[in-house]
């Protein structure tokens, strides 16, 4: 049978047309036809503008005839287009009344908000033609990648070890040793490295199309070119960043990114995308027309009563996330990334904004967040909120979740950092963080899986800088060191920045090991900042968003320079993966409800079973009972962690184990390598089964198991 509706009904300047399908929005290929569809509530007229690839002048502009409109949607089918050699945009006509929220301007050629392939910034740093009337150009894409039997991995949330990374920074450094530096393909070349490190999930900082030239300038301090390296400024919500693909110059970024996901999946590594739905690259009233402003300003942006842009993002505008149509766009974008790119999860930048109503007020049951929590396609997709925004809304512990949303646990970061620098006021809080923050998540029954734990993330100091600087040093960003977080809870170990003092450097390494130890023995989902495993430094810059140079690029020589740190990371990550008792899904009970003789978790002081015993609130120990994650052979070991953030050595009395078991030492951050950590499952027996001496600012991890 042949369909009878596949014949043109109109002809315009030689091109054959017919009324399109309003849905789906965007450009969709079927057979020898391309369906173009765009929504605008307030536009009065629309024109489809077609270019041959990279040409400045369109070869045709086709009006959407009256019969090509349904409701507020303009849609048309164009026949026999050589869609690999077509770029398209729209002109929208309508009122220009900024005070009413309308900014239509039919002189502008606008990007499709649903564009799946965007060209114009195809090779990183290649100067664009600024005179071009159409800068970010939509192309039509075929969605027929051959995934074979790949699907999102659906790794249990509590088993994840997330590695937060930036596509370009990861392999751009000269010593990265890859062929395709700074690209998706470069990450593929580093899969063996990721496997060696032991992480099972990469969280990619924004990979939606953005413009690295946005706010480009020369640093007044060192004369270097500064650019938008991080990409927290979306040009399109459906298109991958072309210049992150080594094949971007051939417009093959879609296939290259899909291949990356497929290869990572084949190696058991999930992919989470950091998505920025809180604002766009169009900025405030002075910003450019890229898409949304000209397509339907009043729909896409949160506006003040007099038509100005609300700025809850700190970036000039705020996406109108709880407008029903914008909400649909966000849901469709996420579905698209899951369906077409097999993405495993999302981390939502400044997610508190997603819960504000159209006037900017926080809602108790934000429809967007509820839609995402209940969406059928996103049903097993990880949803992680950065639960605050630049407008002062802080929702760590209270982000509306419907049992589905996890949060970046900013309180984990703050408490652990303060503990590391021997702040005596924080031990009570640290205990909550280590046990999966029951104070934040237990009452809502969100479980431990609601807490993404981290000590460092892209915002702020790297781990090595956290122990090397008291203050941020962002002068090179050219903003008089005003940008970036001031409250870092960091301690430089006795000297600001680089030091040749071996004692200081030894202590810094020890503190790095303390930090990763606390992260890996805490309940919750650990997230490691890329580069921390090799002691990466940004020379004290805690906001390297614009430093497309060796400040932000990983220096792979660090792997050798800080070999003990890398070794420590690998082993403690493997330790966590081996021990289920470190990866509970729900909060612990502090009781022995299975009658094993020991509670599931117990706190201790320098005296066993007496948590109140200690020094200056800087010493504590806890024990996890492996019999609570399984019985018989499925039982895990006992794990005992003694933490001494005091500057003096202390003896910790050990809890007595069941008769056939004894304590073995897995890690002691106070020891010089190679005694600082052993191979997981090959821990040596300790001689004294009654007490361990924990050095100044050190952590000891013991495993209680049957003697070999």
Specify the residue, 262 or 293, whose C-beta has the smaller distance to another protein: 262
Which residues pair with residue 348 across a beta bridge?
275, 385
Using a 10 angstrom Cβ sphere, with 0-12 exposed, 13-18 middle and 19 or more buried, the burial of residue 124 is buried
Q: 185, 275, 352, 699: which one contacts another protein (CB under 8 A)?
A: 185
Q: Which of residues 343-402 bind another protein (CB under 8 A)?
A: none
Region near another protein per CB under 8 A, out of 254-262, 388-396, 507-515, 673-681: 254-262
Question: In angstroms, what is the minimal distance from the CB of 255 to another protein?
Answer: 4
Distances (CA, A) of 672 to 287, 446, 568: 55, 40, 11
Residues 653 and 691: beta-carbon distance below 8 Å: yes
> Nearest to residue 206, comparing CAs of 173, 180, 243?
243
- Pick from 325, 268, 377: nearest CA to 73: 325
Q: How far apart are CA 652 and CA 528, in angstroms?
A: 29
Q: Which of 40, 259, 320, 488 binds another protein (CB under 8 A)?
A: 259
> Does the CA dihedral 289-290-296-297 come out positive or negative?
negative
With CB under 8 A as the contact rule, the residue among 37, 47, 228, 247 that binds another protein is 247
| Cβ closest to another protein, residue 255 vs residue 386 | 255
β partners of residue 202: 163, 271
Strand partners of residue 70: 73
Q: How far is the CB of 133 from another protein (least distance, A)?
A: 25
Interacting residues with another protein between 305 and 324 (CB under 8 A):
none
Of 290, 170, 184, the closest CA to residue 233 belongs to 290
User: Is residue 645 within 8 Å of residue 635, measured between CB atoms?
Assistant: no
String of DSSP letters for 370-430: HHHHH-STTTT-EEEE--B-TTS-B-TTTS--TTTEEEE-HHHHHHHHHHHTT-TT-HHHH
CB of residue 11 to another protein, shortest distance in Å? 23
Query: How many residues are recorded in the chain?
Result: 708
| Residue 51 in the binding site for another protein (CB under 8 A) | no
**Residue from the set 41, 263, 607, 615 that interacts with another protein by CB under 8 A:** 263
Window contacting another protein (CB under 8 A); options: 64-72, 142-150, 489-497, 605-613: 142-150
Minimum Å distance from CB 181 to another protein?
A: 12
Residue number, 184 or 441, with CB nearest to another protein: 184
Neighbours of 252 (CB within 10 A): 15
The least distance separating another protein from the CB of residue 146, rounded to whole angstroms, comes to: 6
Interface stretch with another protein, choices 180-188, 458-466, 537-545, 593-601 (CB under 8 A):
180-188
| Residue 245 Cβ vs another protein, minimum distance, rounded to whole Å | 7
Minimum CB distance to another protein, residue 236 (Å): 18
Q: Pick out residues in 58-117 that bind another protein (CB under 8 A).
A: 82-85
Contact characters 144-173, another protein, x per CB under 8 A: x-x---------------------------
In whole angstroms, the minimum distance from the beta carbon of 260 to another protein comes to: 9
d(CA 663, CA 688): 9
CB of 695 to another protein, least distance (A): 49
- Among the listed residues 60, 70, 252, 629, the single contact to another protein using CB under 8 A: 252
Q: Is 245 in the site for another protein (CB under 8 A)?
A: yes
Contact region for another protein (CB under 8 A) — 18-26, 90-98, 152-160, 250-258? 250-258
Active site residues: 349, 386
Which residue, 256 or 459, is less far from another protein as judged by CB? Answer: 256
User: What is the Cα–Cα distance from 264 to 259, expressed in whole angstroms?
Assistant: 8
453 membership: H or E segment, kind and range: strand 451-454
Tokens of 514: 């303390």
Subset of 466-495 contacting another protein (CB under 8 A) = none
Interface with another protein (CB under 8 A), residue from 6, 133, 142, 377: 142
How many beta carbons lie within 10 A of that of residue 8, not counting itself? 14
Binder to another protein among 212, 256, 532, 676 (CB under 8 A)?
256
- Give the nearer residue to another protein in terms of CB position, either 142 or 685: 142
State whether the Cα torsion 606-610-615-619 is positive or negative: positive
Strand, helix or coil for residue 336: helix
Which residues neighbour 80 within 8 Å (Cβ) at sequence distance 6 or greater?
15, 16, 32
- Residues 561-620 interacting with another protein (rule: CB under 8 A): none
Stretch that binds another protein, among 179-187, 294-302, 405-413, 618-626 (CB under 8 A): 179-187
Given the rule CB under 8 A, which of 14-22, 257-265, 580-588, 618-626 is the region that contacts another protein? 257-265
Q: Compute how many residues bind another protein; rule: CB under 8 A.
A: 24
258 binding another protein? (CB under 8 A): yes
186 class by beta-carbon count within 10 Å (0-12 exposed, 13-18 middle, 19+ buried):
buried
Q: Which residues bind another protein (CB under 8 A)?
A: 82-85, 142, 144, 146, 180, 183-185, 188, 245-247, 250-252, 255-256, 258-259, 262-263
């Amino acid at each position: 049978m042949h369909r009878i509706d596949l014949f043109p009904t109109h002809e315009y300047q030689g091109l054959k047309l017919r009324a399109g399908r309003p849905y789906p929005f965007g450009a969709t290929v079927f057979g020898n036809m391309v369906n173009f569809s765009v929504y605008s509530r307030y536009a009065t007229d629309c024109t489809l503008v077609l270019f041959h690839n990279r040409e400045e002048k369109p070869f045709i502009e086709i009006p959407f005839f009256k019969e090509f409109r349904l409701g507020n949607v303009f849609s048309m089918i164009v026949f026999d287009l050589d869609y690999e050699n077509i770029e398209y945009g729209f002109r929208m006509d309508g009122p220009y009344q900024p005070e009413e929220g309308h900014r239509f301007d039919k002189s502008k050629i606008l990007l499709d908000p649903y564009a799946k392939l965007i060209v114009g910034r195809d090779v990183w740093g290649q100067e664009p033609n600024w005179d071009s009337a159409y800068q970010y150009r939509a192309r039509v894409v075929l969605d027929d990648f051959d995934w074979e039997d790949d699907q999102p991995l659906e790794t249990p949330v509590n088993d994840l070890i997330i590695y937060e990374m930036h596509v370009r920074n990861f392999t751009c450094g000269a010593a990265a040793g890859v062929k395709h530096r700074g690209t998706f393909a470069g990450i593929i070349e580093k899969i063996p490295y990721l496997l060696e490190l032991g992480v099972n999930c990469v969280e990619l900082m924004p990979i939606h199309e953005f413009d690295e030239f946005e706010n480009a300038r020369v640093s007044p301090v060192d004369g270097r070119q500064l650019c938008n390296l991080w990409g927290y400024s979306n040009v399109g919500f459906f298109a991958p960043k072309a210049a992150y693909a080594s094949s971007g110059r051939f417009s093959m970024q879609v296939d290259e990114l899909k291949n990356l996901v497929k290869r990572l999946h084949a190696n058991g590594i999930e992919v989470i995308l950091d998505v920025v739905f809180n604002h766009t690259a169009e900025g405030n009233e002075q910003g450019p027309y890229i898409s949304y402003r000209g397509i339907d300003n009043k729909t896409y942006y949160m506006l003040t009563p007099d038509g100005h842009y609300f700025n809850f993002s700190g970036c000039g505008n705020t996406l109108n996330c709880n407008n029903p149509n914008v909400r649909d766009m966000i849901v469709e974008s996420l579905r698209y990334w899951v369906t077409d790119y097999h993405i495993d999860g999302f981390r939502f930048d400044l997610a508190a904004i997603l819960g504000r109503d159209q006037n900017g007020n926080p809602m108790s049951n934000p429809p967007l967040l509820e839609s995402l929590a209940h969406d059928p396609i996103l049903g097993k997709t990880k949803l992680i909120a950065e639960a605050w925004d630049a407008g002062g809304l802080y929702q760590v512990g209270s982000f509306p979740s419907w049992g589905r949303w996890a949060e970046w646990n900013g309180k984990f970061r703050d408490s652990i950092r303060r503990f590391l620098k021997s702040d005596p006021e924080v031990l009570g809080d640290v205990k909550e963080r280590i046990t999966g923050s029951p104070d934040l998540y237990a009452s809502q029954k969100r479980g431990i899986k609601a807490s993404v734990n981290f000590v460092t993330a892209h915002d702020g100091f790297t781990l090595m800088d956290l122990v090397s600087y008291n203050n941020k040093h962002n002068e090179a960003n050219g903003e008089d060191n005003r940008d970036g977080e001031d409250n870092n809870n960091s301690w430089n170990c006795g000297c600001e920045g680089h030091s040749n003092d071996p004692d200081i450097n030894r202590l810094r390494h020890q503190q790095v090991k303390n930090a990763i130890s606390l992260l890996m023995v805490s309940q919750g989902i650990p997230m490691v900042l890329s580069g921390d495993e090799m002691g990466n430094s940004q020379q004290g810059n805690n906001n390297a968003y614009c430093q497309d140079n060796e400040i932000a690029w990983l220096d792979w020589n660090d792997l050798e320079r800080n070999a003990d740190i890398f070794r420590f990371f690998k082993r403690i990550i493997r330790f966590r993966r081996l021990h289920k008792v470190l990866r509970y899904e729900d909060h612990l009970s502090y009781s022995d409800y299975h009658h094993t003789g020991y509670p599931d978790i117990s706190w201790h002081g320098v005296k066993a079973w007496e948590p109140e015993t200690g020094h200056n609130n800087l010493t504590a120990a806890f024990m996890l009972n492996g019999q609570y994650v399984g019985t018989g052979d499925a039982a895990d070991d006992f794990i005992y962690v003694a933490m001494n953030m005091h500057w003096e050595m202390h003896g910790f009395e050990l809890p007595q184990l069941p008769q056939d078991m004894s304590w073995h030492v897995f890690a002691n951050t106070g020891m010089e390598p190679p005694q600082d950590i052993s191979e997981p499952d090959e821990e040596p027996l300790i001689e004294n089964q009654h007490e361990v001496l924990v050095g100044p600012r050190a952590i000891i991890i013991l495993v209680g198991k049957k003697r070999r």
